[in-house]
Amino acid sequence: MNESYPVIVIGAGPIGLAAAAHLLERKQGVRVLEAGRGPGAAIRNWGHIRLFSTWRWNIDAASRRLLQSPAGDYAGDWQAPRETRLPYGAELVEEYLRPLAAHPALAPKISYGHRVTAVTRIQADGRGIDKTSTHGRDDALFLVRTATARGIEDILARAVIDASGTWGTPNPVGRSGIEAIGEAEARATGFVTSPLPDPLGTGREHFAGKRILVLGAGHSAANTLISLGRLRQRHPDTRILWGLRGVANPIRLYGGGSADELPARGQLGASLRRFVENGDITILENVSVASLERAEALQVGLTDGRRLEVDLVVPSTGFRPDLSMLSELRLDLDGIVEAPRELGPLIDPQFHSCGTVSAHGERILAHPEKNFYIAGMKSYGRAPTFLMATGYEQVRSIAAALAGDRDAADDVELQLPETGVCSTDLGGSCDDPTPEAESCCGPQPVSIGFATGTLHGHAELAGPAATQ
């Protein structure tokens, strides 16, 4: 009976739309729920950022087949972008996600303006099943509650794939994983910016001539710092502070440079280094934020007693998953990174800073809650090593399992370029003396593309690992 209900996919980003494409290819009913007004809504927030990887690695196989196939009056005349070109986030949306979402086979399946607020289970006769109920649970339907402009809507499903990403839940700038005193108010009043602002574009007037503190040591921080460095060349009164939580290590700060086989990523560290050495960017070490106090400017109190007076704080400190809407489901999560339990040890950033992870699929991503999966950036929890090609393989495997093709679900593999840089932050991990770090050094297959952690200095969003 449950087969008459669709698979609900939460999120119309690259991974969510890829999941829908794979399900359609396997003749499975699907409905995509997207909180934004169009596909790739989160990506639009960093549309000015260029990805590290070329188009070759950024298009899902089933999505490509769908885009190239005719349907009704649709001639299948989509032209794939040149494979060797590095797209900006905005181009990823306009040249790939928007045409994909508009395909006649997929467009009717997508509901925009539907923000999922809860997922639970329900009997076919309408009787509820909360988290404590076991009898008949595996055969029960899912009830997905959404908030829309018209009010609350409950949707029934036979399976759910949560590909909603992490863009909406950035890590706090405070110490020990919690907000600094006064942080919420500083965010609400604009003293703390979005994680990936656009100082050379829409944010030019907001940043020019200001004192700016950028927190974070990864690629999202680097993107912002490079943009601010270029802004300072035009507005010399702009002051840029780069706050690091530890002591600056020149080898780790600027990455692999010419040793990186993703040239755009190597160039990122090289450009940042020039701005620091030229005096455009000032590095501050051992920055641990205790408080943010609004005054005429923002007073940033550090745990060692130092106080900084700045106009803006850019929080390039990574992202974490929002699990609140899943509170009535039985999840099995790693206690450290909040990824599915079997995946957690493979991606724990305390031991795996390589930006690479073994191919994995439905079995690794499964939870005690039958037919429920977290995929994409959100599946990595707080770990920073997620990359777009990895997510495409995740949903291919999940779709195969939901269609009953166990062999295809278990046959997981990734074909990716090699890189001499094995870190998710700007620096390589090969100078780390721990055995765990040494084991991943040297040329490794690395998943690229949507790496937000690499992007956001610490993994981060459903977003990018990018360069400007």
Of 137-141, 411-415, 432-436, least confident by mean pLDDT is: 432-436
Determine the length of the chain. 468
User: Among 315, 347, 363, which residue terminates a domain?
Assistant: 315
Mean pLDDT confidence for 436-457: 30
Query: What is the reported pLDDT for 438?
Result: 27
One domain for residues 40 and 182: no
Whether residue 253 is predicted with pLDDT greater than 90 in this model: the reply is no
Query: What is the reported pLDDT for 346?
Result: 85
Whether residue 426 is predicted with pLDDT greater than 80 in this model: the reply is no
Of 250-254, 334-338, 453-457, least confident by mean pLDDT is: 453-457
Q: What is the CATH number of the domain that holds 306?
A: 3.50.50.60
Under a CB-based contact definition with an 8 Å cutoff, are residues 118 and 142 in contact? no
Report the domain count for the chain.
2
Mean pLDDT confidence for 414-434: 41
- Tell me how far apart the alpha carbons of residues 26 and 52 are, in angstroms, rounded to a whole number: 32
Query: What is the reported pLDDT for 269?
Result: 81
- Tell me how far apart the alpha carbons of residues 423 and 202 are, in angstroms, rounded to a whole number: 31
One domain for residues 140 and 208: no
Query: What is the reported pLDDT for 73?
Result: 62
Higher-pLDDT residue of 459 and 260 is 260
Mean pLDDT confidence for 174-202: 95
Q: Does any domain span residue 96?
A: yes
Query: What is the reported pLDDT for 414?
Result: 76
Of 16-30, 81-95, 402-416, least confident by mean pLDDT is: 402-416
Query: What is the reported pLDDT for 457?
Result: 27
Higher-pLDDT residue of 451 and 213 is 213
> How far, CA to CA in Å, does 393 sit from each of 44, 60, 189, 222, 243?
24, 9, 41, 29, 36
How does pLDDT run across 354-383, given as a tens digit for each residue?
445 678 999 999 999 999 999 999 999 998
Higher-pLDDT residue of 315 and 358 is 315
pTM score: 0.87
Mean pLDDT confidence for 433-443: 28
One domain for residues 8 and 155: yes
Whether residue 60 is predicted with pLDDT greater than 90 in this model: the reply is yes
One domain for residues 201 and 100: no
Whether residue 65 is predicted with pLDDT greater than 60 in this model: the reply is yes
Q: Does any domain span residue 261?
A: yes
One domain for residues 13 and 154: yes
Query: What is the reported pLDDT for 299?
Result: 97
Query: What is the reported pLDDT for 387?
Result: 82
One domain for residues 225 and 295: yes
Of 302-316, 352-366, 397-411, least confident by mean pLDDT is: 352-366
- Tell me how far apart the alpha carbons of residues 372 and 125 are, in angstroms, rounded to a whole number: 21
- Tell me how far apart the alpha carbons of residues 17 and 23 are, in angstroms, rounded to a whole number: 10
Q: Does any domain span residue 44?
A: yes
Mean pLDDT of the chain: 85
One domain for residues 222 and 272: yes
One domain for residues 276 and 324: no
One domain for residues 29 and 109: yes
User: Among 283, 315, 347, which residue terminates a domain?
Assistant: 315
Q: Does any domain span residue 363?
A: yes
One domain for residues 181 and 71: no
User: Which of the four pLDDT bands, split at 50, 70 and 90, describes residue 352?
Assistant: low
- Domain residues for the domain of 360 are 2-167+319-463
User: Which of the four pLDDT bands, split at 50, 70 and 90, describes residue 250?
Assistant: low
Report residue 3 as tokens: 């087969």
Residue 277, phi then psi, degrees to nearest 5: -65, -25
One domain for residues 421 and 349: yes
User: Which of the four pLDDT bands, split at 50, 70 and 90, describes residue 11?
Assistant: very high
Under a CB-based contact definition with an 8 Å cutoff, are residues 290 and 186 in contact? no
Query: What is the reported pLDDT for 177?
Result: 93
Degrees to nearest 5, angle at CA 39 with 367 and 9: 25
Higher-pLDDT residue of 424 and 176 is 176
User: Among 257, 290, 315, which residue terminates a domain?
Assistant: 315
DSSP labels for 57-100? Answer: GTS-HHHHHHHTS-BTTB---PPPPPTT---BHHHHIIIIIHHH
User: Which of the four pLDDT bands, split at 50, 70 and 90, describes residue 52?
Assistant: confident
Residue 355, phi then psi, degrees to nearest 5: 70, 20
Report residue 170 as tokens: 């950035």
Q: Does any domain span residue 468?
A: no
Whether residue 458 is predicted with pLDDT greater than 60 in this model: the reply is no
Residue 415, phi then psi, degrees to nearest 5: -110, 110
| Spatial CA neighbour of 282 closest among 292, 272, 291, 268 | 272
Q: Among residues of the chain, what percentage have pLDDT more than 70?
A: 82
Q: Among residues of the chain, what percentage have pLDDT more than 90?
A: 69
Query: What is the reported pLDDT for 77?
Result: 80
Under a CB-based contact definition with an 8 Å cutoff, are residues 423 and 429 in contact? yes
How does pLDDT run across 83-138, given as a tens digit for each residue?
999 999 999 999 999 999 999 999 999 999 999 999 999 998 888 899 999 999 99
One domain for residues 152 and 10: yes
